[in-house]
Amino acid sequence: MAREESGEENGSGDHGNKVMVAIDESDDSYFALMWVLQTLKESLTTTTLVIFMPQPAIDNNYTFAATLGAARIYSPVSARPDFVNSYKENQRKLVLALLERAKHICQSHGVNAETFSEEGDPSIAICSAVERLNIDLLVLGDEHHLSKLKRVLIGSVSNYCVQHAKCSVLVVKKSK
């Protein structure tokens, strides 16, 4: 887990409620962050705002496609350690840059925010961070870009968090 702000990880040193906004690179998550900054601005003076971004866990097995005439053959291949390390480092840099961008947005609205990141499945990582950091309200952007079929087959992060987070969950939808 990467932590940018200094302080206690379990939240025991903080006063007031804690609001966590889970972000990714989507516009939906930044819409949710802006909603929090605009709608909850007054209460954020006595509340700790936490910006959290999960880092997808990397699997050492990748499937590469190779053409064979008109057909394709898919073969799982173990990635070389240097490729995996390079990918992880690039992913870490991207996450830190996105967290820094979110923190800058908060500062431009006069709000101080703590930033966190953790590797793992986004749904599980978010719920784990909620519990570990004693979060009172989790705010997520709606994942309207998922098709109905994908929502049924793989589910959505927001749906998982609504069902499993140990705090109140607010899913912010963009108006059409």
pLDDT of residue 96: 93
Distance CA(158)–CA(176), nearest Å, equals 19
Q: What are phi and psi of 74, to 5 degrees?
A: -105, 125
pTM (predicted TM-score): 0.75
Residue-level pLDDT at 47: 87
pLDDT of 134-144, one tens digit each?
A: 999 999 988 76
Q: What is the pLDDT of residue 11?
A: 42
Q: Which domains does the chain have, with CATH numbers?
A: 2-172 (3.40.50.620)
Residues of the chain with pLDDT under 50: 1-14, 63-64, 70-71
Q: How many CB atoms lie within 10 A of CB 136?
A: 16
Which amino acid does the sequence have at 146? L
